Amino acid sequence: MSQLRAVINLDVPGPTVSRHLYGHFAEHLGACIYGGIWVGEDSAIPNVRGIRTDIVEALREIAIPNLRWPGGCFADEYHWRDGVGPRADRPSMVNTHWGNVVEDNSFGTHEFMDLCEQLGTEPYISGNVGSGTVREMAEWVEYLTRGGEAPMSSLRRENGRPDPWRVKYWGIGNETWGCGGNMRGDYFADLARQYSTYCRNHDGNVLYKIASGARSDDYAWTQSLMQTLGDYGCGCNPKHYFDAVSFHFYTTMTDRKTGRATDFSTDEYLESLANAWRVETMIKRHSNVMDVYDPEGRIGLVLDEWGTWWAVEPGTNPRFLYQQNALRDALIAGLHFDAFHRNAGRLVMANIAQTVNVLQAMLLTSDDVLIKTPTYHVFEMNKDHHDAARLDVHLLDATPTAHHDDATVPLVTTTATAKDGRALISLTNLDPEADHTVAYDLRGGSPSDVSARILRADSPQAHNTREAPDAVAPVGYDGATLSENTLTVTIPAHSFITVGFETG
Ligand code: AHR
């Protein structure tokens, strides 16, 4: 066990930790939409207009701030017009990326916007650049957001929605370096400008346009996008054609085929942590590139796909990306959120992949039963960080580390925020064996009223199932004590803790 000392200045608030760092992503992939979120109005599973009620209730509990849809790779072969109008008349298509299955378009624009309204969340629509047209994208924006008598608003009205919706977040393509068109950076940078130009702001709706960004550590891609931003030729203000650039990063085993969600050795556990930690370096380096072209920080960085990607569960369709979710996934989520908090400011949004039944899911369905995963519980325990001010945690001692090959793996990570007179500290102990203690010297306040919760289990492999849905679930914790201004927290091996208190 190591004893770490830390200082937090309660009276020095940092940048806001946007709630959008806790964003989500639902794709037409496997059983995320069909059989997950969407069961149809005639289903015996309780639903509201075809949308599964227990899923909506569970996601409302974690206050999801935004939901990205319809892909992913699917977005770049999705043609929105096929998904509006009477369901019986909608044409089918083949979902070539995800299992070559026939997509009947029964979940389309209206169903998605209904889902967002039921969830109380902001839509983030990912537009088709790879196989779509500028006109198609421009008309989708018009369909969604324009009132009055324009052609697309009339079509929307005919389809049962008189008033326009409000849509802020708009993606220009997805992984355009890969499944979204296999483009080169400079070529896509010009397309991003072109598509963005015609995505108009209608009737007071202001879009926040997010250009499809890099794969992991492809900083040259970010540079291609950023260097097209300025338009200084006219001597007028520099233009920006999009408001943010994205990037995607998944935590995988080096050999993706063998890494299992619940069956892994300690060495494999450390390997996955070493890979997960790369996220913070990537956020910083993409930010560094952006700083060169945008020193004022006008353009946001959006990590709109992140999470663990293990081998699929035995016996399931390899293209449906269905995996279990263990305590390890929750700890990796804790690690990511701390990295997000530390880089709040330039990093404005992050979306975990994906919401239901796919990759690092919040929720797994088993017929009529809904299982909350360990990852879900981290989202819930961290909820009070949404839109709170970061409080920097100054560690006075080096964190314990482990090694995997050449990588050094930090084993303890902690961040803090404050909002409305209350602070929340998150602490993740990734150590597979040892407990650790952190003593926080809380300066600039009179802390009181401490309460703590813990997410832990006997092993990082522990997970929730239909038979044991609460095997990994948060409980109250008495290992956090306050003595004057020193808050001492003991954090058991492989566990995640949140501690809340009044700042005074
Ligand atoms: O989330 C699954 C897939 O991962 C997405 O469709 C794609 O964007 C990424 O490669």
pLDDT in tens, 82-103: 999 999 999 999 999 999 999 9
Q: Evaluate: CB of 73 within 6 angstroms of ligand 1.
A: yes
Q: State how far the Cα of 303 lies from the Cα of 300, in Å rounded to an integer.
A: 10
Q: How many CB atoms lie within 10 A of CB 69?
A: 29
Answer whether 171's CB lies under 8 Å from 127's CB: yes
**Could you give the residue range(s) of every CATH 2.60.40.1180 domain in the chain?**
2-10+391-502
Q: Evaluate: CB of 139 within 6 angstroms of ligand 1.
A: no
Q: What is the pLDDT of residues 138-191, one digit of tens each?
A: 999 999 999 999 999 999 999 999 999 999 999 999 999 999 999 999 999 999
Locus of tokens 């040259």: 220
Distance in Å, CA 305 to ligand 1 centroid = 7
Q: What is the pLDDT of residues 155-165, one digit of tens each?
A: 999 999 999 99
Nearest to 356 by CA among 109, 31, 80: 31
Question: What is the arithmetic mean of pLDDT over 382-390?
Answer: 98
Q: What is the pLDDT of residues 213-228, one digit of tens each?
A: 999 999 999 999 999 8
Annotated active-site residue 175? The verdict is yes
- pLDDT-derived band at 254 (thresholds 50, 70, 90) equals confident
Q: Which of 27, 271, 305, 380 is catalytic?
A: 305
CA 51 to chain centre: 21
Q: Evaluate: CB of 76 within 6 angstroms of ligand 1.
A: no
Annotated active-site residue 111? The verdict is no
**Could you give the residue range(s) of every CATH 3.20.20.80 domain in the chain?**
18-323+341-369
Q: Where are the beta strands (DSSP E) in 252-341?
A: 300-308
Collapsing DSSP states into helix, strand and coil, what is residue 143?
helix
Nearest to 198 by CA among 139, 149, 251, 154: 139
CATH topology of domain 18-323+341-369: TIM Barrel (3.20.20)
ipTM over 0.90: yes
pLDDT at position 108 is 98
The 8-class DSSP code of residue 90 comes to P
Tokens of 179: 């499944």
pLDDT at position 229 is 79
> What is the value of pTM for the model shown?
0.97
Tokens of 184: 């080169």
Answer whether 439's CB lies under 8 Å from 412's CB: no
Q: State how far the Cα of 259 lies from the Cα of 64, in Å rounded to an integer.
A: 29
Distance in Å, CA 476 to ligand 1 centroid = 36
Largest CA distance in the chain: 69
pLDDT at 232 over 70: no
Atom of ligand 1 minimally distant from the CA of 359: 1
Render 117-151 in DSSP notation, one character per residue. HHHT-EEEEEE--SS--HHHHHHHHHHHH--TT-H
| Alpha-carbon distance values, 223 to 219, 288, 299 (Å) | 6, 10, 13
Distance in Å, CA 352 to ligand 1 centroid = 11
Phi, psi (5° rounding) for residue 101?
-85, 155
Answer whether 41's CB lies under 8 Å from 49's CB: yes
Question: What is the arithmetic mean of pLDDT over 494-500?
Answer: 98
Q: Evaluate: CB of 305 within 6 angstroms of ligand 1.
A: yes
User: What residue's CA is closest to ligand 1, atom 8?
Assistant: 72
Q: Evaluate: CB of 30 within 6 angstroms of ligand 1.
A: no
Q: State how far the Cα of 459 lies from the Cα of 494, in Å rounded to an integer.
A: 7
Locus of tokens 């038979």: 467
pLDDT at position 259 is 87
- pLDDT-derived band at 239 (thresholds 50, 70, 90) equals low
Please provide the average confidence, as pLDDT, over all residues in the chain. 96
pLDDT at position 235 is 47
Q: State how far the Cα of 364 lies from the Cα of 167, in Å rounded to an integer.
A: 28
Q: Which of 103, 122, 175, 268 is catalytic?
A: 175
pLDDT at position 257 is 65
Q: State how far the Cα of 61 lies from the Cα of 57, in Å rounded to an integer.
A: 6
In this structure, CATH architecture of domain 2-10+391-502: Sandwich (2.60)
Answer whether 159's CB lies under 8 Å from 113's CB: no
User: What residue's CA is closest to ligand 1, atom 3?
Assistant: 72
